[in-house]
């Protein structure tokens, strides 16, 4: 069964550093997403991406964040100048081109900012 894969599974970074979280969505999917879950809190939507541009974003997704599809397979989330409160599990997801029927999620990257 095709899967969304994320790397790395765990990333530790120092406050103020930039991190890039990587995702390989399912190959025939066209919509891509990032969600995050701070420990003990809800899974929160960050951003959706379609046709090489952001289609929706939440209030959390400020100028510190950016997304990119650098090639035909990868989808990345960049966090500039990380803060302690960015520590969370970040989930990538993708959906096929048909009407929305639920997203397929990756295993997540646990980001720890120290």
Contact between 56 and other proteins (CB under 8 A)? yes
- The phi, psi pair for 22, rounded to 5°, reads -115, 150
CB of 111 to other proteins, least distance (A): 16
Contact between 27 and other proteins (CB under 8 A)? no
CB of 109 to other proteins, least distance (A): 11
Contact between 18 and other proteins (CB under 8 A)? no
**Within 13 Å of residue 86, how many CA atoms lie on the same side as its CB?**
27
CB of 75 to other proteins, least distance (A): 14
Peptide bond into 106 cis (omega under 30): no
User: Which value, to the nearest 10 degrees, does the dihedral of the CA atoms of residues 39, 5, 30, 63 take?
Assistant: 40
Instruction: Bin 81: left if φ > 0, else alpha if -120 < ψ < 50, else beta.
Output: left
Residues 79-98 that bind other proteins (CB under 8 A): 91, 93, 95
Sites of contact with other proteins (CB under 8 A): 3-4, 31, 33, 35, 41-45, 48, 55-56, 58, 91, 93, 95, 100-108
């Amino acid at each position: 069964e095709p899967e969304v894969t994320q790397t790395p599974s765990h990333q530790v970074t120092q406050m103020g550093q930039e991190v890039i979280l990587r995702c390989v969505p399912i190959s025939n999917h066209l919509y891509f997403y990032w969600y995050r879950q701070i420990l003990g809190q809800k899974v929160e939507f960050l951003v959706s991406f379609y046709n090489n541009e952001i289609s929706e974003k939440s209030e959390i997704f400020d100028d510190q964040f950016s997304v990119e599809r650098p090639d035909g397979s990868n989808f990345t989330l960049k966090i500039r100048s990380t803060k302690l409160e960015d520590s969370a599990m970040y989930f990538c997801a993708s959906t096929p081109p048909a009407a929305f029927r639920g997203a397929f999620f990756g295993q997540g990257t646990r980001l720890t900012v120290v």
